[in-house]
Structure 1
Amino acid sequence: MRDLASLDAELLAVDWLSNHHELTAVLGGAGRVGARNAPPYPRIRITQIPGGSSPGWRWLGTFNLQVEALGDLDRTTARPALRLAFTTAVKALHQLTARPAFPGQPVVTFVQALSTGGWLPEPTGQGRYVGVVALTAHPAAS
């Protein structure tokens, strides 16, 4: 059995969202989900942030993920479009609990939006919708 240190919640979320058809359509194409603020835009940025819990750090843990919908650098992406991208990403993360268990893959048991999201542009003025999601999972058995 693997321990919790082998589970990368950020990578799990990025992989799931990158292959989510509804989110890809809302964003306007593939290659728009990752951990960096980089073109093409609009895009979803996922980063693991402090918080969550993992009693004993062995089997089950909750990880806090910041979910951001980022607009074009020239500020032309409409605010409603970013809100739609954000809400679609959060909805898609909730669908992780229904994902079939695959050998060697972590199992997501619970997803909770800790904030409903809000408009908070980057310091550069780039449009951004941001919120936090808690993802509870355990690593796959060997």
Structure 2
Amino acid sequence: MGDLAALDPEELAVAWLSGHAELTTALGGPGRVGARNTPPYPRIRITQVPGGSAPGWRWTATFHLQVEALGDLDRSTPRPLLRRAFATAIKALHELADQTAVPGRPVVTAVRALSTGGWLPEPTGQARYVGVVAVTAHPPIA
């Protein structure tokens, strides 16, 4: 059994979404998923937020991840395009629970949307859709 404390749900989600073909197409190309609000845009930003549970930190833990679809800084990204990218990212995260376990990789057992997401521009006016998902996972099995 692996170390639950070493499980990084943000890294897991970014890696999965970065390689997701449908999301890459929806965003207009690769290199548009990460933990920062940096070009190129549109992009998906994933950050871990408070919440979740890890009873006894023994085997599984549930982490809350904020998922954001961010538009161009000049506010030129069409809102429907951003909404589609956001919905595609949420759908892709749900697919994580259906993946076959691979030795050496964390195993996601459940993904649940905690909020359906909504339009909430950044304070700068930059276009943004935002929502939160709960990801339940356990460390890799040797």
TM class by shorter chain equals: over 0.9
- The whole-number CA distance in structure 2 between the counterparts of 1:140 and 1:36 is 26
The residue number in structure 2 matching 1:14 is 14
- Give 1:141 shift: 2.2
After TM superposition, the structure 1 = structure 2 runs for residues 66-81 of structure 1, keeping only pairs within 5 Å, are 66-81=66-81
**Cα deviation per residue 1:85-118 (whole Å; 9 max; x = unaligned)?**
1000000000001112111100000000000000
**Is 1:42 paired with 2:7?**
no
The residue number in structure 1 matching 2:135 is 135
% same residue: 75
Give the alignment's TM-score, normalised by structure 2.
0.98
Note the residue ranges of structure 2 that are not aligned, 5 or more in a row: none
- The whole-number CA distance in structure 1 between the counterparts of 2:2 and 2:92 is 26
| Aligned amino acid, residue 97 of structure 2 | T
Alignment coverage as a number of residue pairs = 142
Give the alignment's TM-score, normalised by structure 1.
0.98
**Is 1:118 paired with 2:118?**
yes
3-state SS in 2 of match to 1:66: strand
3-state SS in 1 of match to 2:90: helix
| Aligned amino acid, residue 107 of structure 2 | V
User: Deviating runs (4+, > 6 A) in structure 1?
Assistant: none
| Aligned amino acid, residue 111 of structure 2 | V
- The whole-number CA distance in structure 1 between the counterparts of 2:57 and 2:79 is 39
The residue number in structure 2 matching 1:100 is 100
- The whole-number CA distance in structure 1 between the counterparts of 2:20 and 2:47 is 18
- The whole-number CA distance in structure 2 between the counterparts of 1:97 and 1:43 is 23
- Give 1:79 shift: 1.1
| Aligned amino acid, residue 130 of structure 2 | V
The residue number in structure 2 matching 1:54 is 54
| Aligned amino acid, residue 7 of structure 1 | L
| Aligned amino acid, residue 86 of structure 1 | F
| Aligned amino acid, residue 131 of structure 2 | G
- The whole-number CA distance in structure 2 between the counterparts of 1:3 and 1:30 is 31
- The whole-number CA distance in structure 2 between the counterparts of 1:5 and 1:99 is 22
- Give 1:49 shift: 0.4
**Cα deviation per residue 1:53-77 (whole Å; 9 max; x = unaligned)?**
0100121000000000000000000
| Aligned amino acid, residue 59 of structure 1 | W
3-state SS in 2 of match to 1:59: coil
- The whole-number CA distance in structure 2 between the counterparts of 1:25 and 1:133 is 22
